[in-house]
Amino acid sequence: MSTVITREILDKATELRKLLHRHPELSGREKQTAARIREWLEQQNPDRIIEGLGGHGLAAVFDSGKPGPDLLFRADLDALPIDEINTFDYKSENPGVSHKCGHDGHMAILGGFAMILRERRPRKGKLVLLYQPEEENGQGAAKVIEDDKFEEIKPDYAFALHNLPGFGKKAVIMKKGPFAAASKGMIIRLKGRSSHAAHPEQGNSPVHMMTALISGLMDIPKQKKHYKDFVLLTIIHARLGEVAFGTNPGKGVVMATLRTYRDDDMAILNQKARDLAHELSETHDIGIEISYTEEFPATSNHPDASEFVFEAMERAGVQTEVIEEPFRWSEDFGHFTGAKKGALFGIGAGVDHPSLHNHDYDFPDEILETGISMFYHIADQIVNLK
């Protein structure tokens, strides 16, 4: 165990993690979670606490009062609408809601780090611990950054981590450049004209447009000459009319998830999907309405921020794994890496650990120390902790 990270810190961080696990809240509803975090942070004597950031977000500021870089570390507040099947004594007490992405662990890591900062404050600049709302729906980071209160923070550097089942426990997973994919949910609503099923000629069913649209959308990523890197389009839902055997349907909907490693490729992929929908709309005389949900930019690690992570790996003496390909999942921390010198890294949760979002997933407390240690060694390089 590190001399900086005491048994008391690990025990209390574990207690905090289990408390948060028992009381999960969905995106945008993290009021009680934020209250529990505030109570914890007040005990660590930050110079100030900023509340109501982008909703229920809050930040603890440890300010040296001297010139220097401003540094931010982020954890996420929200849980998922998933039933928990685990039977341990700290299982979720909120039916249908649980921390199946490990945000309880991410918050506890930041909480343990706060305990260190109570005794070892920055010698220059300021250090901010941000608890961000609404990561799961991709809206929280943007809301925080756009909040007027974020002007009090304006970090030069931003860091975050995510636990990663499938990798060795306590290993730190890192990559320069693109780390996690951009993604967005595309919803295309089709508006034709219904009629009696006995007289389909009297209506205009979107069935032919829908089949052409699904096929065409799936072909767009195959046009590889238009893209610089990986692109993927997955049809996730389609519905035509209602279950009414006497009716020729007049409406339909097609939903797809678009994923790319680069934001410029996302713009191209999205535009091609829109162009196809409009082209088929004219051909089939079917009205369309296009909307989006769960939009995540690509998370790309800045070279300077990445070097601090790699140096922290050495100082912390952790097992490391440098990946060659970015992850296909998305993280709204990309809003921070797109605006600041930032980096996101992973911590292995165990090769055989249940996957993220599984009903039986639970954050492994054994990796709390690794996360706290990485944050400490990153911060010490930038703001020189006492």
Each residue's pLDDT tens digit, 283-318: 999 999 999 999 999 999 999 999 999 999 999 999
**Domain topology for 182-296:** Alpha-Beta Plaits (3.30.70)
pLDDT band at 386 (very low <50, low <70, confident <90, very high): confident
pLDDT at 20 over 80: yes
pLDDT band at 1 (very low <50, low <70, confident <90, very high): low
Reported confidence tier of residue 2, pLDDT bands at 50, 70, 90: low
Beta strand ranges found along the chain (DSSP E): 48-53, 57-63, 70-76, 126-132, 157-165, 172-174, 177-180, 182-191, 195-196, 231-240, 247-248, 251-260, 287-296, 299-301, 320-322, 341-350
Mean pLDDT, to the nearest integer, of 101-117?
98
| Average pLDDT of the chain, as a whole number | 97
Summarised one tens digit per residue, pLDDT across range 36-57 is 999 999 999 999 999 999 999 9
pLDDT digits (tens, 9 = 90+) for 143-176: 999 999 999 998 999 999 999 999 999 999 999 9
Neighbouring residues of 212: CB distance < 8 A, sequence distance ≥ 6: 280, 284
The answer on pLDDT for 87 being more than 80 is: yes
Q: How confident is the model at residue 238 (pLDDT cuts 50, 70, 90)?
A: very high
pLDDT of residue 300: 96
Residue 195: burial class (beta carbons within 10 Å; 0-12, 13-18, 19+): middle
Give the pLDDT confidence of 259-288 residue by residue, as tens digits: 999 999 999 999 999 999 999 999 999 999
In words, the CATH class of domain 7-178+298-383 is: alpha beta
What are the boundaries of each domain within the chain?
Answer: 7-178+298-383, 182-296
Please report, to the nearest 10 degrees, the dihedral formed by the alpha carbons of residues 173, 37, 11, 94 taken in order.
-90
